[in-house]
């Protein structure tokens, strides 16, 4: 590329952060990973926290690397993270403490307490968000329930990426797509649902202004420029919820196409022009998150490759240094359908010895217990494919569409065995890629904010020209149908955390 524009994007997930430098010549987009860092919750007594101070230091290092890699010609920078988690500033503008991790156990049984004050169906009708015990609404009420005065000193409420952006720019804003994951944002009227919060004794004065993605938030703060010895450049408010950024990078959004953002979590859904909040959505616990360019993402969260990641963590601790490709190859060599689990079973919500947890779950449900590492991995992948089928069938009912294709994006799109299983289980075509969809969507919105692209559709055309995809065709086998019937029996025996 000759004299391309250069853009930096950081995507922080529950297991780590990655920074990419993009080059755009007006027609094609190239991205290169230039920095990577770890992220994991920190256990303190019985609680789990995120180490925000270390993460912010990593972000500053990433900015310094991006400026150096671009030879000081960085057009802009944007950051996205996961949803639901939040941070509080006190009334003097200082961080009130490290943010809790959504897997913290303080929200156990908290939903039932909230439903005694506001009925479940009323919350859903007002917000359209699926019920998971770690949603921001329940995290905040857990604070109220434990100590009614806990929030009295809160000055500003931020979602996690808003907190990063505050320290990067000094601007106190909440970005729209992440705000919609809280379960107290009203997508129909496009505002915080302050009335619902007041019923739960959650203060509303701490809520910041909500802004749309694809806009310049401000320039990098002077104190950071001085610390890093860099010149100021624009910080863009991208779709800071990683799923919303990833959805921007789906090359084809057609009426009969679903997307599957595949990673620690899988999110299976469709992009719509207006919110879909219905009794059927409530009954099936679907969500309606905000997307970029005034779209809505009607989807279901599925606990996914987190199970495989936790297994790998344990195996590594035992000296088995598997790569992701190693364990996929081992799984492929194993006998199919030894056992099936519900990946959303409550036992898999919190960290632990997942190989043991999976064995115990198989024993509890009266199945053959997988013994080898490859068999455990295959159990996870086959179970996920069946969970996708279960969700896909209900998605079609909720959105009233006959869906013909699934487009897999994100890091999990590299898992060719899971993609193959998904095509076979659902009996539909699966197209995988681009792999770094969240970073690519982040970059597209920066290009829109900087006036280099006129629309999200223009960006999607560039993605189609710039990145390759892999196609997996369905296999018309009755075996997956038999295993699906077994899966339905198994899931009826498991206690799920997001129903």
**Active-site residues: which are they?**
242
DSSP, residue by residue, 205-253: TTBPEEE-SSEEEEEPPHHHHHHHT----EEEE---BHHHHHHHT-S--
Contacts of 400 (CB under 8 A, 6+ apart): none
Spatial contact of 293 and 456, defined as CB atoms under 8 Å apart = yes
**C-alpha span between 435 and 419 (Å, rounded):** 13
DSSP, residue by residue, 253-292: --TTEEEEEESSEEEEEEEESS----HHHHHTT-EEEE-G
Contacts of 362 (CB under 8 A, 6+ apart): 339, 341, 368, 369, 370, 379
Measure Cα distances from 228 to 61, 68, 224, 225, 392 in Å.
8, 11, 6, 5, 47
**C-alpha span between 487 and 495 (Å, rounded):** 14
End-to-end CA, the chain: 50
Spatial contact of 212 and 448, defined as CB atoms under 8 Å apart = no
Q: Which parts of 28-132 are beta strand (E)?
A: 29-38, 42-44, 47-49, 74-80, 86-90
């Amino acid at each position: 590329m000759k004299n391309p524009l250069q853009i930096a994007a950081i995507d922080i997930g529950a297991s780590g952060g990655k920074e990419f430098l993009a080059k755009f010549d007006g027609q094609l987009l190239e991205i290169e990973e230039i920095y990577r860092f770890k992220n994991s919750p920190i256990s303190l007594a019985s609680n789990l926290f995120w180490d925000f101070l270390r993460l912010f230091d990593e972000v500053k290092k990433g900015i310094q690397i991006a400026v150096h890699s671009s030879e000081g010609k960085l057009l802009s920078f944007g950051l996205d993270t996961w949803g639901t988690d939040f941070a509080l500033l006190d009334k003097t503008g200082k961080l009130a403490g490290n943010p809790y991790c959504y897997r913290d156990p303080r929200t156990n049984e908290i939903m039932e307490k909230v439903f005694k004050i506001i009925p479940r169906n009323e919350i859903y009708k007002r917000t359209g968000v699926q019920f998971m015990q770690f949603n921001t609404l329940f995290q905040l009420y857990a604070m109220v329930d434990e100590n009614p005065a806990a929030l009295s000193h809160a000055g500003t409420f931020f979602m996690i990426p808003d907190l990063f952006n505050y320290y990067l720019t000094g601007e106190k804003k909440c970005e729209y797509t992440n705000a919609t994951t809280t379960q107290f944002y009203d997508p129909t009227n496009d505002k915080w649902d302050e009335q619902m919060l007041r019923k739960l004794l959650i203060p509303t004065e701490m809520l910041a202004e909500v802004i749309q993605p694809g806009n310049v938030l401000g320039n990098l703060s002077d104190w950071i420029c001085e610390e890093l010895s860099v010149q100021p450049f624009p910080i863009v408010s991208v779709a800071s919820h990683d799923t919303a950024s990833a959805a921007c990078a789906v090359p084809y959004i057609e009426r009969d196409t679903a997307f599957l953002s595949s990673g620690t979590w899988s999110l299976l859904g469709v992009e719509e022009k207006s919110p879909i909040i219905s009794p059927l959505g409530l009954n099936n616990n679907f969500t309606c998150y905000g997307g970029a360019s005034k779209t809505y993402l009607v989807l279901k969260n599925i606990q996914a490759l987190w199970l495989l990641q936790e297994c790998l963590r344990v195996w590594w601790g035992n000296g088995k240094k598997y790569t992701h490709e190693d364990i996929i190859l081992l799984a492929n060599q194993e006998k199919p359908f030894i056992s099936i689990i519900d990946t959303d079973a409550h036992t898999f919500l919190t960290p632990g010895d997942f190989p043991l947890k999976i064995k115990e779950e198989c024993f509890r449900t009266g199945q053959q217990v997988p013994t080898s590492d490859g068999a455990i991995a295959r159990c996870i992948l086959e179970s996920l494919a069946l969970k996708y089928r279960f969700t896909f069938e209900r998605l079609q009912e909720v959105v009233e569409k006959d869906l013909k294709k699934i487009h897999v994006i994100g890091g999990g799109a590299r898992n060719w065995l899971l993609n193959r299983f998904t095509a076979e289980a659902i009996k539909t075509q699966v197209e995988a890629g681009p792999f770094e969809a969240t970073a690519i969507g982040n970059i597209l919105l920066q290009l829109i904010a900087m006036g280099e692209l006129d629309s999200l559709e223009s960006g999607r055309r560039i993605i189609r020209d710039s990145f390759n995809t892999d196609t997996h065709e369905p296999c018309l086998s009755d075996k997956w149908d038999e295993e699906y019937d077994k899966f339905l029996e198994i899931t009826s025996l498991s206690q799920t955390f997001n129903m």
